[in-house]
Structure 1
C-alpha cells in the first residue's frame, strides 16, 4: 500500500512540475527584452585597440545604448581608452565629431595616462576635450566594484 501511495505522490508531483514548467514558457512574440526597472544604469565601454572597425562599433554600441527607449535618460556612460585604443583620441584621426557628439550626450571620455607614458604620447597630440585617468585598468576595476556594467566590444 505504501508503494502505491508513493507512486501516486510521485505522479502528482511530476504532473504539477510539468504543468508549472508549461506556464513558464515564453512565447517569442511576447518577449520584448528585459524591463529597465531601476532608476539609473551605469556602464563603462572599454576600448584598447586601434582597429577602425572596433572603434566604430564601440561608438555605435554606445549610441545604441543611449537611444534604447528602456534606458533613455537613465544611463551614465564612460568610455575608457587604453593601449591601442588611444588612436580614437588622437587629433590626426577622424573621430573628433563623433566623440564630441558622444560627450554632448553626457559620455565621459577617459584616456589612460599609463598608455600615454608607455607610448610617449603628449596631451598635445590628443583632443583637448577628453579626460584622463591614472590607469585604464584601474578605472575599470573601480567602476566595476561601484556596480557599473563593463562592455568590451
Structure 2
C-alpha cells in the first residue's frame, strides 16, 4: 500500500522550498499519494501568472492533488477562475488536513 502524505504550505515565502521538498519526496517515493494544501499567504502561489504555474501543473499532471483553501481565497479576493488549471478548491485548508490525518495520512508541514 503506497504512502499517503498530506502537505501543508501556509507561507508564500516558503513555497519554492516546499515545492522542491515535494519533488524530492516523489523522487524517493514515486508511488506516494500526495496532496499539497495551500492556505494563508501561500494561497497566492496558486494564482495564474504568479510564477509557479508550470510547477503546479507539473504536480497535477503527476497525479498530486493541489488543494486551495477557499477561506484563504475569500480573504484575499481570489476567485476559482484565478487559479492555475487543475487546482482543487477545498472549503477549509486546515479541515482538509485534519480529515486526511484522521484517515491515516502522514502529515508534513513545509
State if a TM-score over 0.5 links the two structures. yes
CA distance in 2, matches of 1:127, 1:135: 18
How far 1:97 sits from its partner (Å)?
0.7
Name the larger-Rg structure: 1
Separation of aligned partners in 2, 1:103 and 1:120 = 24
SS of the equivalent of 2:12 reads: coil
Q: What's the CA shift string for 1:33-53, capped at 9, x where partnerless?
A: xxxxxx2100011111111xx
1:152 is aligned to 109
Q: How many residues are aligned here? A: 110
With a CA cutoff of 8 Å and minimum separation of 6, indicate the structure with the bigger relative contact order: 2
Q: Which residue of 1 aligns with 2:64?
A: 107
Q: Which runs of 5+ in 1 are unaligned?
A: 1-38
**Please, which runs of 5 or more residues in structure 2 have no aligned partner?**
none
Distance 1:60 1:138 in 2: 25
Which of 59, 64, 73 is residue 19 of structure 2 equivalent to? 59
Which protein has the bigger strand share? 2
Name the structure 1 match of 2:5.
Answer: 43
Q: Secondary structure of the equivalent of 1:44?
A: strand
8 Å Cα contact 2:80/2:89 also seen in 1: no
